[in-house]
Amino acid sequence: MVVAAVVLGPGSILTSSKVGAGFGYAGVPVVITAAILMIGMVALAARIGVSYQGSACDELALRLGRPVAIIVGLILFLIVALFQSSNNIAMVAGLSPLIELATGGKTVGVGGQMALLLLFNAVLIAILYLMRDLYKSVEKLMKVLIGVMVVAFLFNFVVVHVASRTFEFTAPTERGDLIALLGLIGTTFSVGGAFYQSYLVKEKGWGIRDAKRGLTDTVASISVLGIVTVIILLTSTRVFYGRPDQVALMSVDQVARQLEPLFGSWATIIFSLGIVAAAFSSFLVNAMIGGTVMSDSLGKGSKLATMWPIHLTTVALLCGMGVGMLSLSQSGSTVTLITFAQALTVVGNPALGATLIYLGTRPELTGERRIPRWIIFLAWAGFLVSCVVAVRTATAVWEKIQAA
């Protein structure tokens, strides 16, 4: 559920909304495929965590040298920084409408948005250093937030389809945004999130005998992630599909309209609170991924009870905040900026996938430590998909930059 929480962040909510608006039902098989690949990669990471005595980067350093481990840690850290920037942008996007409603429609300027980010990140950094049993507290919080989001979007999904006659359902006049579709793949099939599972099983103290239990947890949590993403996509399809003008200029207020069937005039408030909750659930764990793996790659330890992972998690938070502030200072749609950042995170996925496959196919993994073939097969399929998506994403982003 911790991995699902970091993947099901505000970027996933906004990106799946945009894909539903631009591609309609064609986005559903993409989400399902990405979720299946995610199950395979998370299951592989979990088995690696319980099969080896050392952590992933320590085992990598032992076999290929410390520099290779540092490169892997740095790649994941950079992915986290980009992903974290989208969390920062989404946090502001969620809080701004609430503040505007509370102040009678007074617009939150760039200066106010910067202040919000500084305050929120400062609170999280304080939590990092003051919370005693960090992992258990985070795990409990993630379960609650995921549960609330599942219930809210599920009920709204039912209401939208019951009241679907009130919405005009027309075919689009132009194709959807490819970067949004690639970003959706990147948020659902997050190899960085999967990589962290090898550390989480060690935080829980699991051994090889817990492998089956871990597989059950993996299938259940990632299935929840996939179902919620599909629900959001289908809801957005009903409300926005066939309206390319709204897709191109989509703001958080516009995206919130998909909640109007259930919440009416409260839609913007409810959706903004959902974005804030999703950002909070993804915010801290995402930074912890970058900080923990970077610390481990440097040989400084990977346990959250030690200080190096916490120090580097703080650096990850600050980097994400910095990139987020830079993005906010530029003109453009908030949803577009988030989607852009989400898509870029897939570029480093092939290296992380290759690392997990390497560790999962070592000859010393025999007997009960041997990883099932179906997991390795799904991991290879995920690796190949991540390579194709990385190349296509880099091309699409470059085309966007040239067009701008």
Q: pLDDT tens-digit profile of 141-154?
A: 777 766 777 777 77
Residue 97: per-residue pLDDT: 73
Extract the tokens encoding 58.
Answer: 């320590």
Rounded to whole angstroms, what are the CA distances from 60 to 194, 251, 357? 16, 43, 12
Q: Which CATH superfamily is domain 2-403 in?
A: Amino acid/polyamine transporter I (1.20.1740.10)
**Whether the Cβ atoms of residue 348 and residue 76 lie closer than 8 Å to each other:** yes
Backbone torsions φ then ψ of 156, nearest 5 degrees? -65, -35
Extract the tokens encoding 99.
Answer: 């503040």
* Residue spans per domain, the chain: 2-403
Helix crossing, 334-344 with 373-403: angle to 10°? 130
Query: How far is 358 from 376, CA to CA, in rounded Å?
Result: 10
Q: pLDDT tens-digit profile of 102-111?
A: 777 677 777 8
Query: How far is 109 from 112, CA to CA, in rounded Å?
Result: 5
The answer to pTM > 0.85 is no
Question: For the chain, what percentages of helix, strand and coil (3-state, to nearest 5) are there?
Answer: 85, 0, 15
Query: How far is 30 from 153, CA to CA, in rounded Å?
Result: 20
One-letter amino acid identity for 130? L
Residue 333: per-residue pLDDT: 52
Query: How far is 219 from 229, CA to CA, in rounded Å?
Result: 15
Rounded to 10 degrees, what is the CA torsion of 14, 17, 18, 24?
160
Contacts made by residues 291-294, CB under 8 angstroms, sequence distance 24+: 291/315, 291/316, 292/196, 292/199, 293/56, 293/57, 293/72, 293/73, 293/76, 293/77, 293/195, 293/196, 293/199, 294/73, 294/74, 294/76, 294/77
Query: How far is 123 from 280, CA to CA, in rounded Å?
Result: 11
Residue 375: per-residue pLDDT: 94
The alpha helices in 244-266, defined as continuous H runs, are 244-248, 252-255, 260-263
For residue 199, give every residue at least 6 positions away whose Cβ sits within 8 Å of its Cβ, in sequence order, or none.
Answer: 49, 55, 56, 292, 293, 296, 302
Extract the tokens encoding 188.
Answer: 């659902």
Query: How far is 306 from 308, CA to CA, in rounded Å?
Result: 6
> Consecutive sets of 10 residues in the chain, 404 residues long: mean pLDDT of each?
67 77 86 93 93 92 94 86 77 75 75 85 85 69 71 76 52 58 80 89 86 84 86 81 54 62 70 69 80 92 85 90 79 54 67 94 90 94 89 74 65
